[in-house]
Amino acid sequence: MLPRGGHDVHRAHARAGMETGPLVTRTLSSHGASSLGASFLAALLAAVIGSLAGCQDPSLELVIDPPDPGSVSRVALRVWDAELQLVGDFWVPVGEGDGEITLPWRVPLTPRGGSESRWFLAEVELFDDAGCPTRRAVVSGPSSDLRARTLRFEATGLDGCEAAFVDPAGGGTECAEDAPCTSMEDAIDAVVGPGRPEVVYLRGDVDHVLDGPRGLSLGDGRTGEPGAPLVIRAWPGTGTPRLRLASPGPDAVIESCCNVDAGRNLLLDGLDIAGGVRFGVSFNGSNAVDNVVRHAFVHDNGLDRDDPSGAPQDLGRNDAAVIAVNGANGTTIEHSVLRATGVRGPASPARLPGVGFRAVGDAVVRGNLVVDNAEQGVTVRGGTAIEGNVICQNGSEGVRIEGPATIVGNTILRNGAGISAEDGDRVSSAGNVVVDNAGAASIGGVEVEADWLHGNADGRDDGDPRLLDPEACVVTLRPDSPLRGAGPDGANLGAR
């Protein structure tokens, strides 16, 4: 039976360096929603999204109008706010019956507090009868800049996928949608096969406990291949699944939550990953290529635990407690919150950056919120594009470069310093907003003439950028911000 309806999510915030409180969820409708009429369901969805924003008059409509609507069985819609917190999550069937929607579908979105300067990110996915997300469209920005928007869909490469569903309270043996299995590992083993994409759906708002000595270890056959990725993602309409490690015993040393030693062509989508002793996610080795982390909440890893001998684990400067990429080319990390790593062990001086790349090429760090990490926000050794991120309140530099890199359109604020490089001539920096950092905006010869500087320890000051709430790392531009239209071709400067 098709899951009908959705899930909206509010996060309670207790501000102590961007700490996020527990999820509070409300189910709009469930498997028994077939009695809902299509118009009522659409009105209910609009009302809920409007209530999330706190304003009755929509200033933006998403127009979901695919060129071949007859191939669409279901539509998934997820919406995130400026802090990349999930505020709307829906999976609805398409048709003419009760509880179904018709295409084209116009979905109103309204800004929280009625302010049209509020930034948001929305993703719409189109599913076929087999449960495969075949096309995807993403739109973001302040509602004042977008207004009515007809979405442009791109193919996902997941046509003809093999799908499996996981619910820790399930109990099914076939990992089917109406009888999900309880184990993520069982679901992966059930779908992985040569020559086809695989999608594993994890029910949201529950813990998925990882029992392996390295958490979830992928590789050795548990992997995708070019043109046929392995996708581990949130089950649409159910919220965010939480990946957690089993409590380590006295002889256990668990290094990471999701370790990819030999895996490739993997997509982790919409997951909450926390509690790794060393890393949250690790892509390690030259075989771990073309992996993607998207819409994730990776936090509170690099915990202060001792190894079985009682000695603190000693990590080198290349380790990262949120996401570590070592020799794995083609890694993309996008639209994720990467937050709150720790100091390792009372006797260890090692302090960890948020995201660390070492000896990589063709890597992309795009559209993330990198916040509250003990050392650098992003550390790079190798060819990496760093684009459109909010990098805020990290203990050392917002970005540290030890190789060639392109840094474009980021907002880097309230860190120990702005951008540093071993060789500034190998770094291209433009369109960034570098503000209110305790140290210099630029270290090591990085050229920042095409960036906006304000309130850093060094001398140049281009003026107040008029960000919405910089102390809370909310960097949406106010209506009177001088950054509006100040970039190439009239684009805004910075990440929002």
- DSSP per-residue codes, 144-200: HHH-SEE---EE-S-TT-EEEEE-TT---SS-BTTB-BS-HHHHHHHH--TTS-EEE
Q: Rounded to whole angstroms, what are the CA distances from 215 to 148, 210, 274, 365, 423?
A: 44, 5, 11, 24, 37
pLDDT at 11: 29
Beta strands in 265-334 (DSSP E): 266-269, 272-274, 279-284, 292-294, 297-299, 323-326, 332-334
pLDDT at 29: 30
- Rg of the chain, C-alpha, whole Å: 22
Residue 389, pLDDT above cutoff 80: yes
- DSSP track, 53-67: HT-SS-SEEEEE--S
Q: 111 and 21, same structural domain?
A: yes
Amino acid at 300: D
Strand order in the sheet with 86-93: 20-27, 5-13, 86-93, 74-80, 119-127, 133-142, 154-155
Alpha-carbon gap, residue 46 to 55, rounded angstroms = 11
Q: What is the DSSP letter of 455?
A: S
Helix (H, G, I), strand (E, B) or coil at 411: strand
491 occurs within a structural domain: yes
pLDDT digits (tens, 9 = 90+) for 408-441: 999 999 999 999 988 887 889 999 999 999 998 8
377 occurs within a structural domain: no
Residue 208's DSSP bridge partners are 243
Q: 211 and 321, same structural domain?
A: yes
pLDDT at 49: 47
Would you place residue 277 in the very low, low, confident or very high pLDDT band (cuts 50, 70, 90)?
low
309 occurs within a structural domain: yes
The parent domain of residue 30 ranges over 5-155
pLDDT at 320: 52
pLDDT digits (tens, 9 = 90+) for 367-380: 999 998 878 889 88
Cβ 191 vs Cβ 231: under 8 Å: no
Q: 225 and 321, same structural domain?
A: yes
Domain count, the chain: 3
Helix (H, G, I), strand (E, B) or coil at 44: helix
Residues above pLDDT 90, as percent of the chain: 40
From the CB of residue 61, how many other CB atoms can be counted at a distance below 10 Å?
18
Beta strands in 295-450 (DSSP E): 297-299, 323-326, 332-334, 337-339, 355-366, 369-371, 378-387, 390-392, 397-401, 405-408, 411-413, 417-421, 427-430, 433-435, 442-443
pLDDT at 38: 45
Written as six digits, the tokens of 261 are: 């030693």
82 occurs within a structural domain: yes
214 occurs within a structural domain: yes
379 occurs within a structural domain: no
Would you place residue 240 in the very low, low, confident or very high pLDDT band (cuts 50, 70, 90)?
very high
Q: 215 and 326, same structural domain?
A: yes
Left if phi > 0, otherwise alpha if psi is -120 to 50, otherwise beta: which for 43?
Answer: alpha
Q: 407 and 353, same structural domain?
A: no
Give the residue among 376, 388, 261, 374 at the shortest CA–CA distance from 325.
Answer: 261
Left if phi > 0, otherwise alpha if psi is -120 to 50, otherwise beta: which for 228?
Answer: beta
Q: Rounded to whole angstroms, what are the CA distances from 29 to 5, 6, 43, 49, 240?
A: 5, 6, 13, 14, 17
Residue 76, pLDDT above cutoff 70: yes
Alpha-carbon gap, residue 234 to 106, rounded angstroms = 24
Q: 198 and 146, same structural domain?
A: no
Considering Cα of 185, then 188, then 193, then 194, what sign does the dihedral take?
negative
Q: What is the DSSP letter of 201?
A: E
Any idea which of 61-65, 69-73, 283-287 has the lowest mean pLDDT? Answer: 283-287
389 occurs within a structural domain: no
Q: 148 and 251, same structural domain?
A: no
Alpha-carbon gap, residue 392 to 438, rounded angstroms = 12
Q: 455 and 350, same structural domain?
A: no
**Top-confidence residue, 430 or 48:** 430
Q: 104 and 20, same structural domain?
A: yes
Any idea which of 42-46, 50-54, 89-93, 401-405 has the lowest mean pLDDT? Answer: 50-54
Give the residue among 141, 155, 203 at the shortest CA–CA distance from 3.
Answer: 203
Q: 405 and 264, same structural domain?
A: no
Of 134, 155, 176, the last residue of a domain is 155
Q: 358 and 402, same structural domain?
A: no
Alpha-carbon gap, residue 458 to 494, rounded angstroms = 20
Would you place residue 302 in the very low, low, confident or very high pLDDT band (cuts 50, 70, 90)?
low
Q: 15 and 80, same structural domain?
A: yes
471 occurs within a structural domain: yes
Average pLDDT score over the chain: 78
- The angle formed by the CA atoms of residues 260, 261 and 265, to the nearest 5 degrees, is 55
Of 311, 344, 362, the last residue of a domain is 362
